[in-house]
Amino acid sequence: MDQPPILEARDLKAYYITEAFGVRRTVKAVDGVSLAIRPGEIYGIAGESGCGKSTLLKMLLGEFEPPLTPVEGSVTYDFGEGQHDALDMSEGEVTATRWSRVSYVPQGSMHVLNPVRRIGDTFHDFISTHQPMSRRQTNERVAAYLAEFGLREGVLRAFPHQLSGGMRQRVTIALATILSPKLIFADEPTTALDVVVQRGVIQLLKRIQRDHGSTLVLITHDMGVQANLADRIAVLYAGKLVEEADTRTIFKAPRHPYTQHLIGSLPTLEDKVARVSLPGRPPALDDPPSGCRFHPRCPYAMEVCKTIVPPLVTLEGGHRAACHLITGETDHAAATSPALA
């Protein structure tokens, strides 16, 4: 029997709700997202900047504060002992869960590494809040763990600014994974690193996921990184999940025009000239386009796309996509199916 999902979001709506000078503004950054992440998989969340990836991450982590407000739906974790509500954890549950069960590799290592503390002190503070340990014990444990990441013991005595960007990112990943969490979120873990260092970080994440048997949720706009790491990919556009499938299907047979665009804009070795990107940008989400939110940029937009939101339909092999081109096809197939005649 299939294991239950380790993380599940059902019809999740999370909006930034602000009020200034009596004017209320609602930014629908996550608008009706449902997804289920299986234990042990690498699940990629893709989409251009402004599509709602970071907002979705905050909700999946259960770490949000006003103006971001959960409006509808649910997020649940299941670590094998039944479901927990991720959006309504007590302070005690947050402390027990964060880092030891659910951890997070943030965008930019400087967010978690205190610039005026040595790396060893940061690790000690961090580990001792979860597991009482002497300074010597933490140093030994951390040195052994850092060695697996190709980092020398001397790193423990260094300040963050004394390390290269790639070393800092490896230290951040070590910090997020030393307690063997079951669920790891990584937010743009390779952005801002050069290509060679990127490759090292990708291999490192793969190895951790394999060795610890953890589940990795990878948030990145970079489809090249998604292709290298993810088992399945969800594509977000303007706060909505527009397509989800295993990585091979996403790259070989994408059904949503937005996914086709994301993949089509990836350079290949055969390219002699730069690829042309799709004009326009994701819309502002306080007043998103009616109907399909992608219709103003879609090369195949039809009348129906301007008014009716396409449903997310399930295709062969659990592939899901939300596009009227597909719904039109399936309606047509149903209408002409001899079984239904």
Ligand X SMILES: Nc1ncnc2c1ncn2[C@@H]1O[C@H](COP(=O)(O)OP(=O)(O)OP(=O)(O)O)[C@@H](O)[C@H]1O
**Is 69 an interacting residue with respect to ligand X (CB under 6 A)?**
no
Strand (E) or helix (H) holding 173: helix 165-177
Q: Which stretch binds ligand X (CB under 6 A): 47-55, 204-212, 270-278, 310-318?
A: 47-55
CB atoms within 10 A of CB 105: 25
In the bound state with ligand X, the residue whose beta carbon lies nearer, of 67 and 150, is 67
Q: Is the peptide bond before 67 cis (omega within 30 degrees of 0)?
A: yes
Check if the beta carbon of residue 306 is closer than 8 Å to that of residue 300. Answer: no
Check if the beta carbon of residue 247 is closer than 8 Å to that of residue 232. Answer: yes
**Is 49 an interacting residue with respect to ligand X (CB under 6 A)?**
yes
Q: Give the C-alpha distances (Å, rounded to integers) separating 235 from 11, 173, 254.
A: 16, 24, 10
Phi, psi (deg, nearest 5) at residue 244: -150, 130
**Is 35 an interacting residue with respect to ligand X (CB under 6 A)?**
no
Pick the binder of ligand X from 5, 44, 47, 189 (CB under 6 A).
Answer: 47
Pick the binder of ligand X from 6, 35, 42, 55 (CB under 6 A).
Answer: 55
**Is 294 an interacting residue with respect to ligand X (CB under 6 A)?**
no
Pick the binder of ligand X from 4, 32, 36, 54 (CB under 6 A).
Answer: 54
Instruction: Tell me the residue length of the chain.
Output: 341
Across the strands, what pairs with 30?
A: 14
CB 50 to ligand X: min, Å: 4
**Is 109 an interacting residue with respect to ligand X (CB under 6 A)?**
no
**Is 67 an interacting residue with respect to ligand X (CB under 6 A)?**
yes
CB 90 to ligand X: min, Å: 25
How many residues line the site for ligand X (CB under 6 A)? 13
Distance CA(197)–CA(55), nearest Å, equals 27
**Is 26 an interacting residue with respect to ligand X (CB under 6 A)?**
no
100 token code pair = 């030891």
CB 27 to ligand X: min, Å: 4
**Is 285 an interacting residue with respect to ligand X (CB under 6 A)?**
yes
CB 231 to ligand X: min, Å: 21
In the bound state with ligand X, the residue whose beta carbon lies nearer, of 33 and 326, is 33
| 3-state DSSP helix/strand/coil % of the chain, to nearest 5 | 40, 25, 40
Contacts of 145 (CB under 8 A, 6+ apart): 174, 178
List interacting residues with ligand X (CB under 6 A): 16, 27, 29, 47, 49-55, 67, 285
